[in-house]
Chains A and B, each alone.
Chain A
């Protein structure tokens, strides 16, 4: 599944699909067949580990993430989550108030939209969040959403 942003599939239950795969640390000699297989099947080339926590599904989290962070609040968010100048094509202003942890978790796991925003806007916001790294405002909240801490 490749959306216009080339979003990778999140499929933590892929057990049977990758059951036959080789050990990761072994150096593989890739072949033309591998490249073709990927392009022909359009299959997931990236599987992101997102451990489920069925027991703690209702997050302990009350945290929020401002999109974008306060330091760059005048920027708009492109559909792939990068920040661009106002009015750039295919970009949107950020949400008027910070997004809630519970909504973000649902958007990441189920592709739901944020209340009051279209799916295109929501997708852009979620892509921004997925790119957060340590040091950027909102990262701690994002990390705790993936596994309540």
Chain B
């Protein structure tokens, strides 16, 4: 078992792998990231064979760590990097208690944060990645971390997961090819390629931001904007929070405060229209 340690915002990861390949890919993807604070990881993730012989024979990758899921479908070794990323997600989703987690992406401008949230396939990752290349600072892709006491957003700049058509879109825009991970074909989520946040996002991962606007994008439809009632907002936000209930009253308090932020939903047919709608909303709230 080999290990890699990286710090991403307030989370220090120790990632173990029975195979050297995925770990090397991880090391490349997260080049330039700091080590865990005081060398003490806050989360441990591992990818290992489902049975000992599966290390060599038609290898099957299981994800585990401090927290585990039973009965998950094993992954192929060629998707080992994805498995390692999912292992990190799992540890955050099941183990993080210091911060309220939202299933969302976030970008920052002028000290204020735009939170893009919604189900998988909504396009939030792609929009965030695009904004990150257009002068915004990328704060997060998979998980947005909110401190329940201060309500500040703590950046968690993981590599962005680009899926299917988003891959060529970002490849056209990002000049530095070394920021991309390998192209993973035919994963459970389709084609996937990881993109490392730019140097500014990494350098300023400890600079907090104040949430100012929550948007729910919906990719693949004619442009349409819609307000969102407070009660609906609360339900949607809790739906996308993996640790709302374990946080108890702290989570409730944080969510009721988040619920007072400006929020809206919008549908968009392509990235350009989506970005346009985003900028218009931002102008409205002074972001």
Contact = CB atoms under 8 A, between A and B. Distances in A.
A and B touch in the complex (CB under 8 A): yes
B69 interface: yes
Q: Please report whether the interface of chain A is mostly helix, strand, loop or mixed according to DSSP.
A: loop
B230 interface: yes
B94 to A, nearest CB: 6
Interface residues of A, number: 30
Contacts of A47: 235
Contact of B93 (A14, A53, A144): A53
Interface of B: 67-72, 89-90, 93-94, 228-232, 234-236, 238-246, 256
B71 A51 contact: no
Contact of B232 (A19, A53, A60): A19
B83 to A, nearest CB: 14
Interface in A1-55: 12-16, 18-25, 47, 49, 51-53, 55
Contacts, number: 79
A143 interface: yes
Contacts of B256: 24-25
Given A19-B231, A24-B256, A25-B256, 20 more contacts: A12-B238, A12-B239, A13-B235, A16-B232, A20-B229, A21-B230, A21-B231, A21-B232, A23-B230, A24-B230, A47-B235, A51-B239, A53-B93, A55-B93, A55-B242, A56-B93, A58-B72, A59-B69, A60-B68, A62-B70
A146 interface: yes
Contacts of B68: 60
Given A14-B235, A53-B93, A147 B245 contact: yes
| 10 closest Cβ pairs, A-B complex | A147-B245, A21-B231, A19-B229, A58-B71, A18-B231, A23-B230, A19-B232, A149-B246, A15-B232, A51-B238
A98 interface: no
Most B CB within 10 A of own CB, among A15, A16, A59, A62: A15
